Amino acid sequence: MTVMVSDSQDVGAALRVAVERLDPTTRLPVAYHLGWCDHIGNPVAANGGKWIRPQLTLLAAHAAGGSTQDAMPGAVAIELVHNFALVHDDLMDQDRMRRHRPTVWSLWGAATAVLAGDALFALAHEVLIESGSPFAIGAMGAIAAATRELVRGQAQDMAFEQRNDVTVAECIAMAEGKTGALIAACGVVGALMSGADSEVIGSLQRYGRHVGVAFQLADDLLGIWGDPRLTGKPVFSDLRAGKKSLPVTWTLCHGGVAGRALADWLMRGERDADGLRAAAALVEAGGGRSWAEAEAERRLATAAAALEHPAIDAHPRCELENFARRLVSRSA
């Protein structure tokens, strides 16, 4: 079974029903963030994200023998949690742009961003609670644990900006929290809400965790070399912020002369255009770019291998493999 256009429409409809419950003051920034309206509430069709996590949740359900209907409340809840994290992360990282538009905190201030995120998190639970699914509580457990991992990853990410001795292993552990945990939760929730056994759930969780790290690697590459017209963020945005992203960390640890030059540049704190271009060239010369590309490939292969379980049919397995590859090829 394939995730159909109509499934996406259902995700969108369910998100709107959930957000409709919010008080008007909180609903506006939430609806704006989700791409449904401008900052004064006029309807627009802006980019509200690619719904990667709901799609993955539904694909995981199909792989586990379940239906779209079984897993839809989980898919919607995870998308709400993802957006809760984005709204809070943009504030914490002081990122002014997301999806080509000003972020919630940059338009309405910190307090509104805190509240909008809190509201999205509360809605995620309400969606699952009211689903009537016998697996709702298990799904909420997976989401709550993933949220804790997400907090850990974000805390590490921020702490790493103050350190200059971050190892590649620490950085991967951070990515497993910040990105891997919620994508792994898509696998768990999709399988769990389909009534799958713990082996199948474990397979889809491993798949998700590796896909999450591959996705973070791709995202880090975009954060350096991505086209601002496609990413919606300024060019070199992660370098400008001094982020210890995976390719940067690899270069610092294993990039020899280029790595030491990159460390010097980070310490100096100069962020002019020439310096940013030179820093990106150092990540490339030090091997960080090619390592990140190769590591993403290895993660995709490990993710695919995790799906080799007799209870997972060939067709949904193939779809999950394709989906992971499309996610990561954004970096091409």
Residues that bind a second copy (CB under 8 A): 21-23, 25-26, 84, 88, 91-93, 110-112, 114-115, 117-119, 121-123, 125-126, 129-130, 136-137, 140-141, 143-145, 147-148, 151-152, 154-156, 158-159
CA dihedral defined by 131, 135, 136, 138, rounded to 10 degrees? -170
Minimum distance of a second copy from residue 226's CB (angstroms): 24
Which residue lies nearer to a second copy by CB, 144 or 318? 144
Minimum distance of a second copy from residue 103's CB (angstroms): 14
**Whether the Cβ atoms of residue 114 and residue 102 lie closer than 8 Å to each other:** no
Which residue lies nearer to a second copy by CB, 154 or 245? 154
Closest residue by Cα to residue 123 from 87, 73, 89, 88: 73
Which residue lies nearer to a second copy by CB, 137 or 273? 137
Minimum distance of a second copy from residue 321's CB (angstroms): 31
Q: How far apart are CA 143 and CA 137, in angstroms?
A: 10
Q: What's phi and psi for 17, nearest 5 deg? A: -60, -40
* Dihedral sign (CA 227, 230, 233, 238): negative
Which residue lies nearer to a second copy by CB, 23 or 272? 23
Minimum distance of a second copy from residue 75's CB (angstroms): 18
Which residue lies nearer to a second copy by CB, 129 or 168? 129
| Residue 115 host element (H or E) | helix 110-129
Tokens 């809070």, residue located: 88
C-alpha radius of gyration, the chain, whole number? 20
Minimum distance of a second copy from residue 213's CB (angstroms): 18
Minimum distance of a second copy from residue 67's CB (angstroms): 22
Minimum distance of a second copy from residue 156's CB (angstroms): 7
Q: What is the DSSP letter of 134?
A: T
Tokens of 150: 């997400």
Tokens 């961003």, residue located: 113
Minimum distance of a second copy from residue 100's CB (angstroms): 24
Which residue lies nearer to a second copy by CB, 97 or 140? 140
DSSP codes of every residue in 221-265:
HHHHH--HHHHSS-TTHHHHTT---HHHHHHHHH-HHHHHHHHHH
- The residues, ordered by sequence, that sit 6+ positions from 331 with a Cβ below 8 Å of its Cβ are 217, 218, 219, 221, 222, 225, 226, 293, 296
Which residue lies nearer to a second copy by CB, 58 or 119? 119
Closest residue by Cα to residue 177 from 138, 207, 148, 135: 148
Which residue lies nearer to a second copy by CB, 110 or 273? 110
Minimum distance of a second copy from residue 140's CB (angstroms): 6
Could you count the other beta carbons within 10 Å of the beta carbon of residue 214?
29
Which residue lies nearer to a second copy by CB, 17 or 137? 137
